[in-house]
Structures are given as C-alpha cells and as structure tokens.
Amino acid sequence: MSYHVAIFSKDGDPDTGLLRALEEEGVTFALVTEVEHVTKEYQAAVIDLSISPQRDVHPLGQRCQELAIPLLCALPSRHLARYDHSWGATDFIVLPARVGEVSARIRQATRQSMGQANEKTLEVGDLRIDLERYEVFNRGRRVLLTFKEYQLLCLLASNPGRVFSREILLNQIWEYDYFGGTRSVDVHIRRLRSKVEDPGQAYIETVWNVGYRFRDQPPKGG
C-alpha cells in the first residue's frame, strides 16, 4: 500500500533527511503549516520537532484524532526525553531518519489506527453502525432507531448467520424471561426492517417457527 502523508512544520523547512527518506521509500507527502490543512486525504500526519520539541503537537494531535488518522512525531534523539504520549501522537521517528524505518513506522501506526477505528464501528453491506455514538447509517444516510431497535440490530449484525429465537432476543434485549407471547420482538423486527432495508436490500431473515438471523453476506446496494 502506498501512503500519502501530511508533513507539518511551522518553523521553516522540515528536516531534509526525513523528506529524503520518504522519497526513497515511495511515501508521497505534502507540506502543511496549518492544523486545519490536515484532512482525510492523508493516511497519516508527521510533525517535525527538530527545532521545537513540543510546539503545536496538542492541537495537531486533536485534529488527527478527529480524523482518525495517526500522528507521528519526528524528533532528534536529544529531544526524546521530552517526548510525551499525552501529546496525542501515535508513535515517533528518531532523526536523522533511517531509510526503511519511516515507512515502517507509518505502516504500523496506520494499521493500529485502523484497528482502533474498526473496534468502534461495525460495517455490514451498506450499513455502518457507530458503536461509540450509537448511530446507524445506510448508504451514507443516517437512520433514526429507537434504543431497542438499535440493540436488536447490533446483536444480529454482530453474529451473522446465527439464528436467535424470539425467546433469546427477549431475554438479551429486554433482559428478562418472557413467558407470554413474543409479539413485541416481531413488532420491533418489522420496524427495524422498515428503517434499514430497501427493496432488494434484505439484511434480516425470518427463520420460520424459530426466530431471526442476520444474513451471512448482506447485499451491496447498486
């Protein structure tokens, strides 16, 4: 995978050894001097701390966290003692940069960042479930669900192919044993389907006389 990174420096030209290492390792980059110029078009951001060992790191770290991209601090060994994880950086690069190390650090930080992001989201077909914000999107459009509908969707989507009986759904979602009818589950499933499914886009299957399951391979919309 090729990487495109933002090199952040407000104190003149970035370290030439760092730029040379990036070029030799096939990492494309753009020089930026303002935090807001770091956008989602970059897979990572690198801040040059060869002159100032701390300036601007906090706002850039917050920006990168908002964009869910890693931030790496490039600094000389004499400044390593001042490196602080509270700056919001994912990793650091020791200057002068050695060829091979820079792209390896970026690759590792990017994979780590993607892993953390994936833990907070669940994507199935055209559905994206933000587990941190309790939000659901279908084909990029936000879907408004009740909390019970959201819980049902998360449970089913997290276990594709597994059949859940109505009794189990009642127990896990409503958190009590229900010995009467199971109409409440059917009503919530019907409402959930009407909100997250479109024609030709079925996610939840009915297993007759048993319950429901989420399709193993939900369809992709055209």
Q: Are residues 16 and 113 in the same domain?
A: yes
What are the phi and psi torsion angles at 136 (to 5°)? -130, 135
Q: Are residues 113 and 13 in the same domain?
A: yes
Q: Are residues 114 and 145 in the same domain?
A: no
Q: Are residues 36 and 138 in the same domain?
A: no
pLDDT attached to residue 206: 93
Residue ending a domain, choose from 97, 119, 141: 119
Alpha helices (H) in 4-132, listed in sequence order: 16-24, 57-67, 101-120
pLDDT attached to residue 188: 92
Strand order in the sheet with 141-143: 121-124, 127-130, 135-138, 141-143
In the block, tokens 């931030």 appear at 71
pLDDT attached to residue 134: 84
Q: Say what the pTM is.
A: 0.51
Q: What range does the domain containing 92 cover?
A: 4-119
- Which one, of 86, 79, 93, lies nearest residue 61 by Cα? 86
Residue 220 lies in a domain: no
Q: Are residues 40 and 89 in the same domain?
A: yes
What are the phi and psi torsion angles at 48 (to 5°)? -85, 115
Residue 221 lies in a domain: no
User: Tell me, what CATH number does 176's domain have?
Assistant: 1.10.10.10
Q: Are residues 66 and 46 in the same domain?
A: yes
User: Tell me, what CATH number does 34's domain have?
Assistant: 3.40.50.2300
Local structure of 138: helix, strand or coil: strand
Give the pairing type, strands 121-124 and 127-130.
antiparallel
Please state the domain count of the chain. Answer: 2
pLDDT attached to residue 219: 55
In the block, tokens 């979602």 appear at 173
Contact 5, 44 (CB under 8 A): yes
pLDDT tens digits, 174-194:
765 555 457 888 999 999 999
Q: Are residues 204 and 161 in the same domain?
A: yes
Residue ending a domain, choose from 119, 137, 158: 119
Residues of the chain scoring pLDDT < 70: 1-2, 11-12, 52-55, 112-119, 175-181, 217-222
Residue ending a domain, choose from 51, 86, 119: 119
- Sort residue 175 into left (φ over 0), alpha (ψ -120 to 50) or beta: left
Contacts of 23 (CB under 8 A, 6+ apart): none
